Structure formats: structure tokens, C-alpha cells
């Protein structure tokens, strides 16, 4: 069945450094790729997304890139801050957004 | 505008008991979903609904049932609770139109323990 692989499972960076999380999807019909941030004990929250007709999208310190040919997409966080510490989930879905498949998550630690 | 509201926030069940997790949204979203998240793990889809009267199974539907009688409400029913159903349950909704994000709005979760 369809799946989304996410790497690394854990990432530790120094405050101010960049963090990169990578995902690979299997379903060629996927055309929407959201990223969610989940702080400890809280609900996942959408932080950025990208559609298949766009190769890159940026919002302040976060950016996403998509390579449809390779079925890869990545989250880039620059100038990391302690409040960026959380679990990040990538996801892939088809038109309409239902049956979204989530990656297993990346636990990001930003050390002050 | 409350978004997605889940109740209860916490519950302890004994093996074999039943309960209903409530979920309601006030954003007029067509699509609603139930996910479970085991400790340190990702999200697994239990059931989803694309509109009132329409539901379908996700990855892990066994032991659960849902109904969608209105656009706003999407309750999840656990029958004969088992320890394997100990998890955090998230309800979510989305609005599938091209001009709007497909991203999910999640509820705050229900932490369920079966003992």
C-alpha cells in the first residue's frame, strides 16, 4: 500500500543552526504535501504545505521543497530556536486531501 | 469559532467496557477523520467521512465504529475495549476545495487508557 518514509527519526541541532527533514512517498497520485508540528502533549498543527505544481515554498524561517520525479519532499528550518523543538510529521495526500498518509515523525531537539 | 472540539480529554476504561468519543466541528468542513497515536509513534487512520451519511475504513478500523449523521459531528465508538486500544485519539477535519488548503485541523485529543 501507499506509504511515506520520513528521516531522520531524531534530530538534534544547536540553536541558530539549520534543520532538514526528508520524506519520500510512494503514491504517484499524491499532489498535496503538508507538514505538521506537534509539541509535547499537544495536537498536530499545520505549519506549511506544498502542492505538486510548485517546487518550493517559503514562510519566514521554514521552507519546503518538492521533487515530484524522485517523489521526495523536504522541510528546511533555518536559524532554529528552542521553541522549534517538537515532533514534525510530513504527509502526502491526493486531490481532496482525504486518506492522507503520515510519515512516522521526526523529533527535533534545538539546544540552547 | 471553536474549530474541532473533542470530548472527553481523558478516560480510563476497563477491559470489555464501551464508550463513545465525541467530535464536533463548526467550520462546515466536509471531511472528517479519526486517528490514533500510540506513544512515540505516528498517526494511524481509523475511519474517515467525506460527508454526512458517508463513512469509510482507514488503516486500523478493527474494534471501532463511526457514524456521520450531520456535517458537524463524527463520533467514534469503541466496543469491548482492549488494552491494545490504549492510545491518544485525534479527530480532524478538512475542506477539500482547490482554492483552500487541504490541511487538517485537529482536535485537542482524547487520551484513553484501557486497564
Mutate to test the interface with A, among B5, B43, B60, B111 (most CBs of A within 10 A): B43
CB-closest option in B43, B90, B103 to A34: B103
Secondary structure (3-state) at A96? coil
The residue among A18 and B29 whose pLDDT is bigger is: A18
At residue B85, the pLDDT reads 97
Does A63 contact chain B (CB < 8 Å)? no
In angstroms, the separation between the Cα of residue B75 and the nearest Cα of chain A is: 18
Q: Residue A78: how many CB atoms within 10 A of its CB?
A: 14
Q: Are B107 and B21 in contact (CB under 8 A)?
A: no
Q: In the structure grid, which three cell numbers stand for residue A99, read together?
A: 486518506
Whole-number pLDDT of residue B100: 60
Yes or no, beta carbons of B96 and A104 under 8 Å apart:
no
Confidence of residue A97 (pLDDT cuts 50, 70, 90): low
pLDDT of residue B59: 87
Residue B88 CB partners (closer than 8 Å, separation 6+): B36, B37, B38, B109, B110, B111, B112
pLDDT at residue B96, as a whole number: 66
Instruction: Report how far apart, in Å, the C-alpha atoms of A72 and of each of A23, A28, A62, B56 are.
Output: 6, 11, 17, 29
Q: Give, as one character, the DSSP assignment of residue B71.
A: S
Chain A environment of B60 (Cβ under 8 Å): none
pLDDT in tens, chain B (115 residues): 679 999 999 999 999 999 999 999 999 888 999 999 998 888 999 999 999 999 999 989 999 999 999 999 999 999 999 999 999 999 999 886 655 667 899 999 999 999 9
Nearest neighbour of A44 by CB, restricted to B41, B50, B106: B106
pLDDT tops 80 at residue A70: yes
> Is the model's pLDDT at A31 over the cut of 70?
yes
Contacts of A52 in chain B (CB under 8 A): none
pLDDT score at A93: 87
Nearest to B101 among A36, A43, A49 (CB): A49
User: In Å, how far are B7, B29, B31, B56, B109 from B105, measured between CA atoms?
Assistant: 16, 10, 11, 19, 12
**Distance between CA atoms of residues A25 and A3, nearest Å:** 6
Residues of A in contact with B54 (CB under 8 A): none
Question: Are the Cβ atoms of B102 and A49 closer than 8 angstroms?
Answer: yes
Check if the beta carbon of residue A80 is closer than 8 Å to that of residue A96.
no
**Predicted local confidence at residue A100, as pLDDT:** 85
Amino acid at each position: 500500500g501507499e506509504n511515506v518514509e520520513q528521516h531522520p527519526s531524531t534530530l538534534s541541532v544547536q540553536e541558530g543552526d539549520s534543520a532538514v527533514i526528508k520524506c519520500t512517498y510512494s503514491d504517484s497520485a499524491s499532489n498535496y504535501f503538508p507538514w505538521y508540528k506537534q509539541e509535547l502533549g499537544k495536537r498536530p498543527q499545520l505549519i506549511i504545505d506544498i502542492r505538486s505544481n510548485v517546487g518550493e515554498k517559503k514562510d519566514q524561517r521554514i521552507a519546503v521543497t518538492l521533487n515530484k520525479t524522485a517523489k521526495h519532499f523536504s522541510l528546511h528550518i533555518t536559524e532554529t530556536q528552542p521553541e522549534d523543538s517538537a515532533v514534525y510529521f510530513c504527509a502526502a495526500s491526493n486531490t481532496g486531501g482525504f486518506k492522507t498518509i503520515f510519515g512516522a515523525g521526526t523529533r527535533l531537539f534545538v539546544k540552547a | 469559532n471553536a474549530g474541532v472540539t473533542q470530548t472527553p480529554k481523558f478516560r480510563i476504561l476497563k477491559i470489555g467496557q464501551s464508550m463513545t468519543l465525541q467530535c464536533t466541528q463548526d467550520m462546515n468542513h466536509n471531511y472528517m477523520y479519526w486517528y490514533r497515536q500510540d506513544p512515540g509513534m505516528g498517526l494511524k487512520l481509523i475511519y474517515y467521512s467525506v460527508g454526512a451519511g458517508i463513512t469509510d475504513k482507514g488503516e486500523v478500523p478493527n474494534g471501532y465504529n463511526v457514524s456521520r449523521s450531520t456535517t458537524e459531528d463524527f463520533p467514534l465508538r469503541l466496543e469491548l475495549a482492549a488494552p491494545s486500544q490504549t492510545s491518544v485519539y485525534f479527530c480532524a477535519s478538512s475542506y477539500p476545495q482547490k482554492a483552500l488548503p487541504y490541511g487538517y485541523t485537529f482536535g485537542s485529543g482524547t487520551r484513553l487508557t484501557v486497564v
